[in-house]
Structure 1
Amino acid sequence: MKGRATDRQQQRASRLATATVGLLAGLLAFAFLDAPAMQRLEAPTLDWRFLLRGPVSPSDDVVLLLLDEPSLQALGGWPPSRLHLAQAVERLSSAGARVTVFDLLFAESGATLQDRRADAVLAEAIAEAGNVVLGYAFVFNGNRSSLSGAAEPPVMAALQHYRTGPAAANRLPHANGAVLPPASLSEAAAAIGHMSVLLEADGALRCEATVVALGDGFYPSLALQAARLFRRLPPSELTADLGRSLELGRQRVDLDSRMRLPVNFYGSGAPGSDGGFRSYSLIDLLQGRVPAEGLRDKAVIVGSTAIAAAPVFVTPYDAALPSAVYTATVLDNLLQDRSLKRPDWLRGLDILAAALGAGLAYAAARRLSPTVAPLAFLLPGGLWVALAYLAFVWWSLWLAVALPLAVMALAAGAGALVHSRAEQRRREAVARERQNLSRYFSPAVAERLAQQSEPYGLSGSQSATVVFIDIIGFTGLCERLSGEQAIDLLRGFHAEVERAVFAHGGTLDKYLGDGALAVFGVPDPLPEEAACALAAAVDLQAALSGWSDDLVARGLPRLAAAIGIHHGPVIVGDIGGESRFEFTVLGDSVNVASRLEGLTRDLDVAIVASEATIEQAGVSGRIPLGFHRHGEVSLRGRESQIAVWVWRPAEQSRSGERRAAG
């Protein structure tokens, strides 16, 4: 009952420790999930998911009209004439393009009359088309007054409807000014949107800055304005809940606290490549080689892929993605609702995964050996990584990976440390137990008993060889010795007994004052146990003879020992209460061995062994020299007689000499 109660207490303590680790892991995840350092670790895991998924095809709603190298060569280089751009706007309008988006940053009008006329022609074409979106760039982290061309965007470029609070507004990107197209172009356009991008710490572009703050206004991006026009929505239908989401008509787009939209990149973006958009060259459009059906009802992104002119960005699939392809990707994400999603409730799922995974990793690591301890982290970590990847592919959800894996690894390490410490304590306890047991048992038996978590328990009858050892006349010797001398003499005798018994694989059952009880063949019977017992008795007599010579030389009395040996059935196990037990042998064989030890005085011999012992030893052919059959004798407390063999040191010597001579 006490053992079971202890087990229940240990189980409760283990469950409490696991719950505590899970709670701490959840708190760590809550505190550090959005930390910049953790976001830097998280970003590459998103790239790996893109690469593992591979390229996917964009929709047919967005096409590219590119100022590529052939176009620039044919049109006279960079920058292209605004007259040619006006002609492109007219042709796109005639072909039925639903919206034309210029991913080009128009500088101020030139100083010449020809430049101003070109601007006027382009403005007229833009106004006539009525579906053109122009871009502008924000300036960050500078002194606005010192920036050439920096100004505030017109009021029509700002969000008309938004919900915000001081905290939400402060988390948005804040600009110092903006570099705008000429006023004539801005006023002619159906909408203008910012083209600014915010790169991650590693220089990669992963999220669209949908809204940027400047002064008291909040300004949407170029792709966002293009999506609104493509849906034919008025400015009032673009609503922002700053720090949470955007509403594009009936479409809700969940964003993070900085109003960033995680971009679902389709591929390298190169024309004709996997994940690439359908594209046409500007010179082909101007020369009438682009079919109208390829442009009808499409969102056309006009931009440059020329090496010298196009801004490029690092993405998961491309080290130099042109700005026009990036804008097309974001626009297609919005139109098809394919952008990555990271809503607030997903953050709660990340924290829950970190807590549960850490608890599981800790609990498993506490139970696993060091060689397989990594499985404690790999199992929950692998499951979460697999779930994060499937959620990314199937539902475009961006689950956090870096932080949950980090806390799971920490928890697994803590569990392994606890396991290691518990194992160390267990080894120390086993070592102490082994050291204590080695005083009474042979090393093999001591090792076996030390490894057992429960008492050995009575195991019934088994064969064994019992040996009783006693110092002859020790009581009389003590009368002539001081107490200290008697104790030292007894300790020396016990040491000789231990060496002889353990050297032959026996168990020292107990000390009986000036005597000892040893047993051979327990806890596991051995075929040579009787021979081992006889050999141990003979060796002990030889050792005591030599030790006695040393005692006499020091002026102490000589010691002599009597030994009785019997082979037969015994009951092996432990006796005692729950807090203290004694491993011992019980039964008639023990009594017989004790009587045989007492018989040595009557027969004037050093060792008396039962014939059953000699017969058992004869099976292995290892009967020591000096034993001879004495005959049958009567033992106190037994009705029938028993045949015995006796041994004297002198007879061993003479027998050995005769064998050597023969």
Structure 2
Amino acid sequence: MGRRHASTLIAAALAGLWGAGLALPHWRGGSDLLDRVEAPLADLRFLIQGPRPAPDAITIVAIDDQTIQTTGSYPLPRATMAQLVSSLALMKPNVIALDILFIDPGPPQGDLALAEALRKSPSVVAAAGVFKPGENRSRIVSDRSLDTLLPEAESLLLPLGSLTGAAALGVVNIAIDASGVPRHVPLLLQSGDRIVPSFPLRAASMAVKQDPVLGPESVELGGASTRTETGYALPLRFYGPGGTIRTVSAAQVLNGTLAEDAIGGRTVVIGATVTGGGDTFSTPFDPVLPGVEVLATAIAHLTEGDGLVRERSVRTVDAAVAVILPVLFVLLLSWQRSAWAFALIASSALGWIGVTVVAFTRGIWLSTSLPLLAAVPAVTLFGAAQLWLDRRRADRLSAQSKTLQRFQPPSLTERLTKDPAFLMQPIRQEAAVIFIDLSGFTGMTEMISIDETREVLRSFHTLVDEEAVAHHGIVASFMGDGAMILFGLLDPSPHDAGNALAACLALCARMEIWLASLPEPIATRIGFKIGAHHGGIIASRLGGDSHQHITATGDTVNVASRLMEVAATHQADIAMSDDLLQAAGPARIVLRSGSLDGPRATAIRGRAGAIPAWLWRREPPRAK
């Protein structure tokens, strides 16, 4: 038991170390493997939660198919863009953010008109970070002033110089996972020695007319505090499919049909949603969500404080559960490998999944995958090891049981298995007792080899055991070249005496055949004798604490043993007591197959007085 407890503690410790090994990179900011597994589970939680109402303070002005039909070209000419921005500025928005890269120069008059329009209202224009191929998530470097890690771009795509002087600048980079779903927006980006705010951060800060206050993994704007991941990565919490955030067509602005209250006092984000424009992302709610709506979602999180929380403290909870859950599962599996243990394990796993779903609906992104990936392999390996050890233990016990069964009759072994306390206290009961012995065996052993002696005894014991079992008796003991057979030891029956008589005759027949099969030098030197009696016996366990055997004692046993001498003296096959014949009743008819002589008063060695006994011989009498 001590070894088993030690192995369980070692397995639990290893399971905890495995969980800690998986949790450490997650706690530090993320693991590609875990993020790949977690992504579809996060999408599933979005679908379980369902769409949410979008904040009313943001309006998307979409350059859509209707706009292209109205203006007749795409991209929109700079002069048309200038007209669009000027019309929006007249409606007094908090800020106008253009999710459009104005990298290449257009007609000079159009560029100047756009720059002039941008000066009429607080505005933001887009820039973009350029990363090396294969570095979608960027290279991480340290920035001392922020005391954090920021994604570093190889270079920046900046708008025209005339526009940067007229509007603020913000990068529109969005981090996506392997399936193309946007997961977070980096709020700060580093390029060389320059740190550039993101498009959403710049737009949100201008909308609330306040510079952002950066704390450890947090951004505060206008009284709304937003928790971020490592490196000021803002997790995205989608509101719903495309159009969930109020979206109007730029054509309505250009033709003057848009109500002013859709723009006034709001954050306005201009972006392309035109079919085939390419600026779309797959999300849990929409396979083609416009990129401008993704950026607008990030702006809403900053101004409303309603984004997902996945900061270090949340990851600490993930890491703690990733260590605790596999240890708990191993202990449960070791404690009781039963339906209850598996039910508790399944309940714990489902409970954690339920906690992550509920937390997600409240804006807290706990990891579903990390604790389960930590627990499932650990409990699977431990369970497989336990099954293997149990199988080995079962095979060993089976081998031991088969070995021990060879030292006890099968019926007695079965009884002891069901009732380990059988005959712990001696009992008196009626039983039939047979003794059989080989005559002349001792002298014969001086003439043959040890191997031949063993083979003779083995075949003799096999014969006796088979006939005893066939007639519902058990061999209580083999005594060298003899055996004691009991009928009624386990469960006394009125048929015990009859079964004993039938066994005596069957033994005689089998012994004759067996003797004839032996080599002549052996067969001519040995014979057999049988004594049988019926009466009260004392059934009990005998032996010491380290070894016990079940047997019968008492006068009945002694008389049956001495009757073998009577059979040998009178050259009979069987000497049996009158008590046995009377107890057998009609079953004694079997004795008609031979010659039955008696009853005669028979003296029993070591016993005062005589008993009536019968002698049975096969016809014709066998010479001794």
Residue 512, structure 1, aligned to residue 479, structure 2 = yes
Question: Higher mean Cα deviation, 223-232 or 506-515?
Answer: 506-515
User: 2:317 aligned with 1:317, yes or no?
Assistant: no
**Closer, same or farther in 2 for the Cα pair 1:630/1:428, shift >3 Å?**
farther
- 2:179 is aligned with 1:202: yes
Partner residue in 2 for 1:261: 234
Match of 1:132 in 2: 123
Report how far residue 610 of structure 1 moved: 6.2
**Is residue 219 of structure 2 the alignment partner of residue 219 of structure 1?**
no
State the alpha-carbon separation in 1 of the partners of residues 319 and 475 from structure 2: 60
Q: How has the CA–CA distance of structure 1 residues 574 and 449 changed in structure 2, closer, same or farther, with 3 Å as cutoff? A: farther
1:575-654 equivalences in 2 (<5 Å): 575-577=543-545, 580-588=546-554, 591-602=555-566, 604=570, 605-607=572-574, 624-626=590-592, 630=599, 647-650=616-619
SS at match of 2:151: coil
The Cα offsets for residues 418-465 of structure 1, whole Å up to 9 and x where unpaired, read as 22222222222222223222323344544665799x786716638574
Q: CA deviation at 1:337?
A: 1.9
Shift of 1:60: 1.5
1:27 is aligned to 20
What is the Cα deviation at residue 475 of structure 1?
6.4
Q: Is the 8 A contact 1:26 1:355 kept in 2?
A: yes
Aligned equivalents of 2:59 and 2:492: distance in 1? 89
1:83 corresponds to 2:56: no
Q: Which residue of 1 aligns with 2:138?
A: none
List aligned pairs for 1:78-117, cutoff 5 A.
78-110=74-106, 115-117=107-109
Matched, 1:50 2:46: yes
Aligned to 2:140: none
Q: Distance in 1 between matches of 2:542 and 2:66?
A: 98
Structure 1 position 60 matched with structure 2 position 56: yes
8 A Cα contact 1:174 1:213, kept in partner: yes
How far, CA to CA, are the matches of 1:345 and 1:95 in structure 2?
43
Structure 2 Cα separation of the partners of residues 642 and 63 of structure 1: 120
Structure 1 counterpart of 2:354: 386
- CA drift at 1:322: 0.6
Secondary structure class of the residue paired with 1:418: helix
Partner of 1:281: 249
Question: Aligned partners of 2:423 and 2:314: how far apart in 1?
Answer: 57
CA 1:441–1:298: 2 relative to 1, 3 Å:
same
Equivalent of 2:273, from 292, 297, 305?
305
Secondary structure class of the residue paired with 1:64 = strand
Would the aligned equivalents of 2:577 and 2:611 in 1 still touch at CA under 8 Å? yes
Question: How many angstroms apart in 2 are the aligned matches of 1:561 and 1:356?
Answer: 74
Distance 2:355 2:16 in 1: 22
Question: Which of 386, 403, 407 in structure 1 is aligned with 2:370?
Answer: 403
Matched, 1:434 2:401: yes
Cα distance, 1:504 vs structure 2: 4.5
- Measured in 1, the distance between the counterparts of 2:203 and 2:352 equals 37
1:412 aligned partner: 379
Does the aligned pair in 2 maintain the 1:360–1:380 contact within 8 Å? Answer: no
Does the aligned pair in 2 maintain the 1:101–1:300 contact within 8 Å? yes
Aligned to 2:169: 192
- Give SS of 2:109's match: helix
Query: Equivalences for 1:424-463 in 2 at 5 Å?
Result: 424-446=391-413, 458=424, 461=427
| RMSD, matched Cα | 3.7
AA matched with 2:175: L
- The corresponding residue for 2:516 is 549
CA distance in 1, matches of 2:206, 2:566: 123
Q: Does 1:351 align with 2:330?
A: no
CA distance in 2, matches of 1:199, 1:622: 96
CA contact (8 A) 1:209 1:261 kept: yes
Q: 1:136, 1:179 within 8 Å by CA — same for their partners in 2?
A: yes
Match of 1:179 in 2: 157
CA shift, 1:374, in A, is 7.0
Query: Distance in 2 between the 1:27 and 1:547 partners?
Result: 73
Retained in 2: the 8 A contact 1:206–1:315? no
- Give 1:214 shift: 0.2
Deviation at 1:651, TM superposition (A): 9.3
**AA at the equivalent of 2:54:** P
Distance 1:434 1:65 in 2: 83
Match of 2:214 among 222, 239, 243: 239
> Aligned pair in 2 of structure 1 residues 586, 554: CA closer, same or farther (>3 Å)?
closer
User: Take 1:473 and 1:610, find their aligned partners in 2: how far apart are those partners?
Assistant: 21
Of 550, 555, 558, which residue of structure 1 is paired with 2:526?
Answer: 558
Q: Matched residue pairs, number?
A: 602
Residues 361, 415 of structure 1: 8 Å contact kept: no
How many angstroms apart in 2 are the aligned matches of 1:32 and 1:639?
Answer: 94
- Give yes or no for contact 2:221–2:303 (8 Å, CA) kept in 1: no
Give SS of 1:256's match.
coil
Contact 1:377 1:408 in 2 (8 A): no
Partner of 1:499: 466
Q: Per the alignment, do residues 102 and 568 of structure 1 end up closer, same or farther by CA in structure 2, a change over 3 Å counting?
A: farther
1:156-180 Cα distance to aligned partner (Å, 9 max, x none): xxxxx97445xx44xx322122222
Which stretch shifts more, 283-292 or 523-532? 523-532
Q: Which residue is equivalent to 1:157?
A: none
Q: CA deviation at 1:612?
A: 7.0
Preserved contact between residue 562 and residue 605 of structure 2 (Cα < 8 Å): no
Secondary structure of the 2:175 match is: coil
Q: Note the alpha carbon deviations across 1:389-413, whole angstroms, 9 max, x for none.
A: 222123x222223232223221222
Give the deviation of 1:182 after TM superposition.
Answer: 1.9
Q: 1:490 and 1:609 mapped to 2: Cα distance?
A: 25
Indicate the larger mover: 324-333 or 405-414: 405-414
Maintained 8 Å contact 2:575/2:614: yes
* Distance of 2:609 and 2:164 partners within structure 1: 127
TM-score (norm 2): 0.84
Q: Is the 8 A contact 1:228 1:238 kept in 2?
A: no
1:17 aligns with 2:13: no
CA contact (8 A) 1:468 1:515 kept: no
Shift of 1:489: 3.2
On the 8 A contact 2:562/2:604 being kept in 1, the answer is no
Q: CA deviation at 1:69?
A: 0.7
Seen in structure 2, the aligned counterparts of structure 1 residues 554 and 651 have a Cα distance that, compared at 3 Å, is closer
By how many angstroms is 1:193 displaced?
A: 0.8
Q: 2:458 is matched by which residue type in structure 1?
A: R
Distance 1:501 1:611 in 2: 21
Cα pair distance change 1:333/1:388, threshold 3 Å? same
CA apart distance, 1:74: 0.6
- Percent sequence identity is 26
Aligned counterparts of 1:518 and 1:133: Cα–Cα separation in 2: 106
SS in 1 for 2:238: coil
